Structure 1
């Protein structure tokens, strides 16, 4: 994999593509807004292109990191989508958190053209992308995974094949289900500590050393205590992800009562203007209720 295309230079894609360029790969970039693509090539080199199809031409590997199912379809199988510019034998990797149905749909579309496919949603957020420390959950064949693994490793600390196409997306759903409960628990704990008159930082210093410790506690407690949420993974995107989880759960007849409840709580956060706040803003919701 010497020439790659990267489709989508948002808060995640921008640094991910940057790691590839710094590793010496030739990167052909596409972004919906030209200004972002121009800025990226100014910083990292490579080239930017007017359409996904143009960016994909001559690329051994095409990586996609956009917003949702419809966005993925537009930049892959839509008019001027990446597949129309990809050659047989190349490989498409989708890093978007999307539905398992879409992964299976893309897998079929790629196979029909002799192109490999991996669904590869990531965890670790903007910080993980910038630090090259993402966790990548993959679905696809062992042969395609073997071709992609080393390249994905340029911005990941762990790259794991979970099963056939769609398995990466299903694993990401498990990830988001677990995070939803953890963040709500952390928000409730900090709210309780505040109402009880405890020093919240000292509480975290103590309990983080025991069974209550988590990534969310380690990385979000300070900004939660300070009531600062203009950073991190947006509530709007979390609700999109949880919607995918809940729809899949209905199909599987899996019970997700806590996830469904936290999804409603995020709806409350959106209603008070927090759609772009970090997911840890569940504490802001509790504080708002307390003041009410």
Structure 2
């Protein structure tokens, strides 16, 4: 455990899912006082309490124990519900606190929430994530941060407990804008890989042969490698990012493009690839399983 100054912020953490559990584990193991909340899945809560965290019974109780609160939930709908309302963070955090949204959220919502919190003397930062639950557990995630300079300087040490790469993008909302661009690129790769694999199969080229050409060449990358582990090895857990979350982020991207007056031709095509999978019942499957749905759309039986 690292030594953390007695004057360090106390931390609250809401959202102990695939990413949040590992992030919170690193915060408490590296010396910060951590409060978290009960969850329908008791395993991460019990694990963190065993490592020294305190469990709160409500958002209000967690807010009362925390100077900095991390949110790592599905998206803006969930974030807004946690911040607003009589039982939300806005009503119970003290002035001088910070809320950090690590979810993949709609930047328009982020900017509005930031203004509402600022009016109450509470700072807001968006610090969405890149990489996988494996890196969350290891403390080597990437994060892209939207925050005022002074707020970024304050939160950087605790971000460093779970992130290996921290990039300060700009002001509030810019982290989420960058996250949507990041996911547009990665999910765009996924849509291309899925269609290429199905087309390769139709013209008699196996996934293994395709991989022999791509792997180690200029088109190779880390995302390609985790994506292909499902196709080549049947590893369903190689990249635990659901098709539902992918589709949600691409809808946020579409809204961002509309707001900027951009004709988002490729973005909409990528969104529709994932929409096909969602319509076919694939919401809970992971991104590397997209080729199965493209195959079925084209009369296959996978």
Same fold per superposition (TM over 0.5): yes
Q: Is the 8 A contact 1:9 1:36 kept in 2?
A: no
Residue pairs, 1:201-220, within 5 angstroms: 201-220=208-227
Whether 1:128 aligns to 2:135 is yes
Question: What is the CA distance between 1:36 and its match in structure 2?
Answer: 5.4
- Give the distance between the partners of 1:34 and 1:216, measured in 2 at CA: 29
Give the SS at the match of 1:203.
helix
Q: Is the 8 A contact 2:145 2:166 kept in 1?
A: yes
- Cα distance change, pair 228–218 in 1 and its aligned pair in 2 (3 A): closer
Q: Is the 8 A contact 1:124 1:135 kept in 2?
A: yes
With the length of structure 1 as denominator, give the TM-score of the two structures. Answer: 0.92
Question: What is the CA distance between 1:194 and its match in structure 2?
Answer: 2.9
Name the structure 2 match of 1:200: 207
Gapped regions of structure 2 (runs ≥ 5): 1-7
Name the structure 1 match of 2:116: 109
Aligned pair partner of 1:265 in 264, 273, 284: 273
Whether 1:236 aligns to 2:244 is yes
- Give the distance between the partners of 2:44 and 2:61, measured in 1 at CA: 14
Give the SS at the match of 1:291.
coil
Q: Is the 8 A contact 2:37 2:45 kept in 1?
A: no
Question: What is the CA distance between 1:80 and its match in structure 2?
Answer: 1.5
Name the structure 1 match of 2:293: 285
Moved more, 203-212 or 37-46: 37-46
- Give the distance between the partners of 1:34 and 1:184, measured in 2 at CA: 32
Give the total of aligned pairs.
292
Give the SS at the match of 1:45.
coil
Give CA deviations for 1:63-83 in whole Å, capped at 9, x if unaligned. Answer: 111122121111122221123
Give the SS at the match of 1:93.
strand
Name the structure 1 match of 2:256: 248
Q: Is the 8 A contact 1:31 1:37 kept in 2?
A: no
Give the SS at the match of 1:182.
helix
Q: Is the 8 A contact 2:36 2:45 kept in 1?
A: no
Aligned pair partner of 1:275 in 278, 283, 290: 283
Question: What is the CA distance between 1:277 and its match in structure 2?
Answer: 0.8
- Cα distance change, pair 258–271 in 1 and its aligned pair in 2 (3 A): same
- Give the distance between the partners of 1:116 and 1:260, measured in 2 at CA: 34
Whether 1:73 aligns to 2:84 is no
Whether 1:22 aligns to 2:29 is yes
Residue pairs, 1:180-199, within 5 angstroms: 180-199=187-206
Moved more, 182-191 or 226-235: 226-235
Aligned pair partner of 1:164 in 131, 156, 171: 171
- Give the distance between the partners of 1:278 and 1:34, measured in 2 at CA: 20
Give CA deviations for 1:233-280 in whole Å, capped at 9, x if unaligned. Answer: 001111111111101111111222222122222122123221111112
Question: What is the CA distance between 1:284 and its match in structure 2?
Answer: 0.6
Give the SS at the match of 1:211.
coil
Give the SS at the match of 1:118.
strand
